[in-house]
Amino acid sequence: MNNNPFNDPGLAKRHRGAWLFKLYTKISIVFTLAFLSFFIFDMVRTAWPALWQTYVQVEVSYTAQSVKVTRKAIDRKYSKIVSRAWLRTIPQQVKDKPELLGTTQLRWVLADDQVDQYMKSHHHNLKSKQIKIVDDLVSKNKIKLDWNDIFLSNGDSKIPEYAGIQSAIVGSVLTLLVTMSIAFPLGVMTAVYLEEFARDNYFTRFVEVNINNLAAIPSILFGLLGLSVFINLFGLPRSSPLVGGMTLALMTLPIIIVSARAALRSVPDSIRQAGYGLGLTKQDIVKDQVLPVAMPGILTGSIIGLAHAMGETAPLIIIGMIAFIPDSPGSIMEAATVLPAQIYTWAGMPERAYVEKTAAGIIVILLILISLNATAIYLRKKYEIKW
Amino acid sequence: MKSNGENIKLVARDLNLHYGDHQALQDINIEVYKNKITALIGPSGCGKSTFLRCINRMNDLIEIVKVDGDVVIDGKNIYDKDVDEVAVRKRVGMVFQQPNPFPKSIYENVVYAPLKHSMVKKGPESDELVEVSLKAAGLWNEVKDKLNSPGTSLSGGQQQRLCIARAVAVKPDVILMDEPTSALDPISTQVIEELMLSLKERFTIVIVTHNMQQAHRIADYTAHFHLGKLIEYDTTSNIFDKPGNSVTRDYIGGLFG
């Protein structure tokens, strides 16, 4: 046996060590995947019921009296069954369609959230009398779970069955538009200056250190800065996407600057040399040769910064974007809320119906983040310049 | 060496260059002849590339570099206050050691700088310039059907000829070449050497090379740098056959370097 020239008694132990090391890495990935899939599974499971909403079929009488006192439009026994929010729309319905007045219609109308929760077999606090009415409706096929389009078409509401995420989506979009239109040009230009133009001296090194530190500052401090500068000093409207976007832009700037600098630095210097050798100016070289090569990297970094800004809540709480906003903001100067703030608000609501809405809101924000990241990957692949 | 004023393109006078505290060039005096190939030889770190980069003021890009003395091209010192270094680099083109085409198409590589210099307009004028320049670089037949493919898709030797075409397209007077064939195989090297011989009809060429045979084959004049000094400058045949300086003799004989 010992005539094997490759015999090394120590090797078995080393191989065992290597095998163990590999095992540790595998265990880690299993744990990571388990946590992730548990999180996603739980979210989807909780959010699933929010896709459906209960509707009941009742007779609605449109009279001069029921327009004034809307609860008179339906049979008294249904007063806890039909959504208060739906009843409140009766005057508007009559205003839109005056011919309704004086008629009685058999209509599918939005049910109260407690009925909805009962239908979804969740915890509810219906009284036995009301349960009997609902069961009766069920047996007559006068109650159904239908696709919940209210969630995407409505703003927030204190009446759970009427609450939707639309105003938060619009608020988020407006806020991020402000953020990007400020942070992207500022960030890229700063990075270009620091990478391509700045001389290496104490001043630029000081600026550099501070930008890197800025990326590590707790985000809530940016909120305080936004509050004291944009709202108190400049007098801009609080809770507005303008102030929120500017605050998030401050927070996103260092991320964009750092990633744009890395992208610019990865452009080989030989390209710049080639440009100088042809008598091109620095502007020609940076604008037409260096930036196009760096652009995929810059875009990727910016989109990651954008995704970061989108999920940010703390600084926006400080500047008042956590307020109850039932209507979508029409401009960047109006009060608005954003997706994570909306989720935070719902998570604190006592009604059971908000639990599924919270989860559904989380799914919406995750979907948007995933599509942002997918866009980043797509842009990188599409505009990547191969050497 | 006797000089003939008519045929001198470029003169360096008492040129000194410091990298911070380190003196890289010391009292360089040289006259480079028009439409000739001048080779700069010497061991690594002797200052030949540094001197080459003085001729188009590329050293200005390095903050710590300080240049004293004159480099006179066509009677004008390019280090005068009223000379813009960008204009100098347009008249004095450069080809680098590693082929470095722009990350753009072959066509755009050639035409980008002339468009920026407003030498041509987009359209037929540009097309013609691209064809003429690529022909001058001996690349036209190989790439005429794929002018829109990326410059980086070519082989190393072709990329280097593309870089030469790009330099030629700006119509400079002088072309500087910094070890243009050191990253290439012998066949591509031979192609580029033949190209240089054909280009000297129109341009004054200064080339830095580590390859003695290359200097011997193509250069009309050879300058030997050693430790930041120009220690011998003469016709190539004189330098190689009867070097006057013992250091040159040793270097060419392969004793060090």
Domain residues of chain B, as ranges? Answer: 5-252
Per-residue pLDDT tens over the stretch B104-135: 999 999 999 999 999 999 999 999 999 999 99
Helix (H, G, I), strand (E, B) or coil at A136: helix
**How many CB pairs below 8 Å do chains A and B form together?**
69
Residue B256's pLDDT band (boundaries 50, 70, 90)? low
Contact call for B58 and A276, based on CB within 8 A? yes
Pairwise CB contact (< 8 Å): A199 & B63: yes
pLDDT at position B2 is 46
As a whole number of Å, the CA-based R_g of chain A is 29
A12 is a domain residue: no
Nearest to A360 by CA among A50, A16, A36: A50
Domain count, chain A: 2
State the virtual CA torsion across A225, A230, A233, A239 in degrees, nearest 10.
Answer: -100
Is pLDDT larger for residue B33 or for residue B255? B33
Q: Is a pLDDT exceeding 90 seen at residue A331?
A: no
A181 and A132 fall within a common domain: no
For residue B89, pLDDT over 90 is answered with yes
Looking at the fold, whether A89 and A182 belong to one and the same domain comes out as no
What share of chain A has pLDDT > 90, as a percent? 51
Task: Name the domain boundary from A148, A177, A208.
Answer: A148
Is A355 within a domain? yes
Give yes or no: residues A197 and A257 share one domain.
Answer: yes
**B227 vs B229: CA distance, rounded Å:** 6
Spatial distance between the Cα atoms of B129 and B134, rounded to a whole number of angstroms: 8
Q: Are A123 and A191 members of one domain?
A: no
Residue A387 pLDDT: 56
Dig out the tokens for A381 from the structure: 């692949």
Collect all residues from A whose CB is shorter than 8 A from any CB in B. 199-200, 268, 270-271, 273-281, 284, 288-289, 292-293, 385-387
User: What is d(CA A242, CA A240) in angstroms, rounded to the nearest whole number?
Assistant: 5
Residue A2: what pLDDT?
A: 65
Same domain, A247 and A379: yes
Separate counts of helices (H) and strands (E) for chain A: 17, 3
Which tokens belong to A353? Answer: 């119906």
pLDDT (tens digit, 9 = 90+) per residue, A202-255? 988 899 899 888 888 899 999 999 999 999 999 999 889 999 999 999 999 999
For residue B31, give the 3-state DSSP assignment.
Answer: strand
Residues A82, A97: Cα–Cα separation, whole Å: 21
Share of chain A above pLDDT 70, in %: 99
Predicted TM-score of the model (pTM): 0.83
Distances from the Cα of A358 to the Cαs of A347, B19, B135, in angstroms? Answer: 6, 64, 69
> Nearest-CA neighbor of B48 among B235, B217, B233, B237?
B233
- The CATH number that applies at residue A344 is 1.10.3720.10
Residue B8 pairs in a beta bridge with: B33
Task: Provide DSSP, B64-77.
Answer: TEEEEEEEEETTEE
Alpha-carbon gap, residue B222 to B238, rounded angstroms = 9
In a domain, A172, yes or no: yes
Residue A22 lies in a domain: no
pLDDT category, A18, cuts 50, 70, 90? very high
Q: Tell me which residue of B246, B183, B213, B245 sits closest to B39, measured CA to CA.
A: B213
The pLDDT of residue A226 is 92
pLDDT-derived band at A386 (thresholds 50, 70, 90) equals: low
Contact call for B90 and A276, based on CB within 8 A: no
Average pLDDT over residues B197-220: 92
B99/chain A closest Cα distance in angstroms: 9
Structural tokens at position B244: 């006057």
Which residues have a Cβ under 8 Å from the Cβ of A252 and sit 6 or more positions away?
Answer: A179, A183, A187, A305, A306, A308, A309
pLDDT of B161-177, one tens digit each?
Answer: 999 999 999 999 999 99
Q: How far is CA A215 from CA A188, A203, B27, in A?
A: 15, 19, 51
Residue type, B15: L
| Nearest residue, CB atoms, A276 vs list B87, B89, B170 | B89
Reported confidence tier of residue B154, pLDDT bands at 50, 70, 90? very high
Task: Identify whether A25 is part of a domain.
Answer: no
- Looking at domain B5-252, its CATH architecture is 3-Layer(aba) Sandwich (3.40)
User: Is residue A94 located within the same domain as residue A224?
Assistant: no
| Residue A214 shares a structural domain with residue A285 | yes
Contacts of A4 (CB under 8 A, 6+ apart): none
Q: Which residue has the tokens 């842009």?
A: A379
pLDDT surpasses 80 at B9: yes
- Is the pLDDT at B213 greater than 50? The verdict is yes
My answer on whether A95 and A186 are in the same domain is: no
| A66 and A116 co-located in one domain | yes
Q: Are residues A206 and A128 in the same domain?
A: no
| Structural domain boundaries, residue A113 | 49-148
In a domain, A350, yes or no: yes
Whether residue A7 is contained in a domain is answered as no
Amino acid of residue A366: L
- Judge if A365 and A238 occupy the same domain: yes
| Side-chain half-sphere CA neighbours of B171 within 13 A | 9
The tens digit of pLDDT for each residue in A103-117 reads 888 889 999 999 999
Same domain, A106 and A235: no
Q: Which residue of A has its CA nearest to B163?
A: A274
pLDDT, tens only, B38-87: 999 998 889 999 999 999 999 988 888 999 999 999 989 999 999 998 99
Q: What is the layout of strands, in order, in the sheet containing A143-147?
A: A104-110, A52-61, A143-147
Q: Which pair of tokens denotes residue A78? A: 């249904």
**Mean of the pLDDT values across residues B155-165?**
93
Q: How confident is the model at residue A382 (pLDDT cuts 50, 70, 90)?
A: confident
Give the integer Cα–Cα distance in Å for A373 and A376: 5
Q: What is the pLDDT of residue B245?
A: 85
Domain final position from A90, A119, A148: A148
Tell me the ipTM for this assembly.
0.89
Cβ neighbours of B234 (radius 10 Å): 18
- pLDDT value of position A99: 87
pLDDT of residue A216: 85
